[in-house]
A = this chain, B = another copy of it.
Amino acid sequence: MKSRTPVNRKPTRNPELTRRRILRAATRLFSQRGYDGASVDNIVAAAKVNKRMVYHYFGNKEGLYAAVLQEVFGRLADMELESFSRAHDPADTIRKILQTYFSFLGENPDFVALLAWENLHHGRFLASNPGVLTKTPVLQRLEDCLREGVRRGIFRPRVNVKHLLISLISIGYVYHANRYTLSQSVGLNLQSPKVLQEGLNHAVTLIQQGLLIPTGGSSAHKIRRRQ
């Protein structure tokens, strides 16, 4: 049984702006420090809004985190819908996919970080918000590409498309997500754009080549039999 007489100062009275400011600050801080490392206090200080507004617009910290994930992971979906629409020749398609993921990850460090946080939390938020991360349409595109490559007699048959997509994503991903540890253990400065470009070129060649029909050389033969 208490009475409280709040003194108001100067309300912003711009709901959309308030919401956006919170979301933007939260995106930055969650991706930098993770769910536990970023406090609501940090976020509202960065967003320059009243703390209460987080609860007004997002319910609670988890709700805010979910909204951030939705927005950031939505960028991937948008990108995937935009790109990969037109058909190219098979080898080019492979290159295009690699390039596109590589660029996207490079330009969206928020995404890279949040994806990593999410995996570390065993996909806990994604599990409770299905639809935030959906099955990628690139899979279909890649399947068509592989089939076409085989039809033209340049690609090996029976390549598993899902595992291939994982390979394509992996190589790009690790350059950005594991920048700091890889720099140390491999001895390459992965912050450098030049090195990143080298990496992408390397990967394109490696994987395009890896899909080709093997030459009749004896050693190549040996390789295939060993698996």
**A residues whose Cβ falls under 8 Å from a Cβ of B:** 1-4, 33-37, 56-60, 62-63, 66, 89, 91-92, 95, 113, 115-124, 126, 128-129, 133-136, 139, 152, 154, 156, 159-160, 162-167, 169-171, 173-175, 177-188, 198-199, 201-215, 217, 219-220, 222-224, 226-227
Q: Give the top 9 A-B pairs by smallest Cβ distance, nearest first.
A: A123-B180, A210-B210, A170-B174, A2-B59, A206-B210, A36-B36, A163-B202, A36-B37, A154-B219
Q: Is the CB of A3 within 8 A of B59?
A: yes
A94 to chain B, nearest CB (A): 9
A226 to chain B, nearest CB (A): 7
Residues of B within 8 A of A210 (CB): 205-210
Provide 13 A-B residue pairs closer than 8 Å at the C-beta atoms, listed in order of the A residue: A1-B60, A1-B128, A4-B56, A34-B36, A36-B36, A89-B222, A118-B181, A119-B177, A126-B180, A126-B181, A135-B187, A164-B202, A169-B182
Q: Is the CB of B208 within 8 A of A207?
A: no
> Which of B66, B134, B211, B223 is within 8 Å of A185, CB to CB?
B134
Q: Which of A1, A154, A217 has the most CB of B within 10 A?
A: A1
Alpha-carbon separation in the docked complex, A185 to B134 (Å): 5
Residues of B within 8 A of A121 (CB): 1
Q: Is the CB of A4 within 8 A of B58?
A: yes
A26 to chain B, nearest CB (A): 14
Q: Is the CB of A227 within 8 A of B205?
A: yes
> Which of B58, B156, B220 is within 8 Å of A154, CB to CB?
B220
Alpha-carbon separation in the docked complex, A205 to B155 (Å): 13
Residues of B within 8 A of A154 (CB): 217, 219-220
Q: Is the CB of A211 within 8 A of B201?
A: no
With contacts A173-B174, A204-B227 known, is A185 near B136, CB below 8 A?
A: yes
Residues of B within 8 A of A180 (CB): 118-119, 122-123, 126
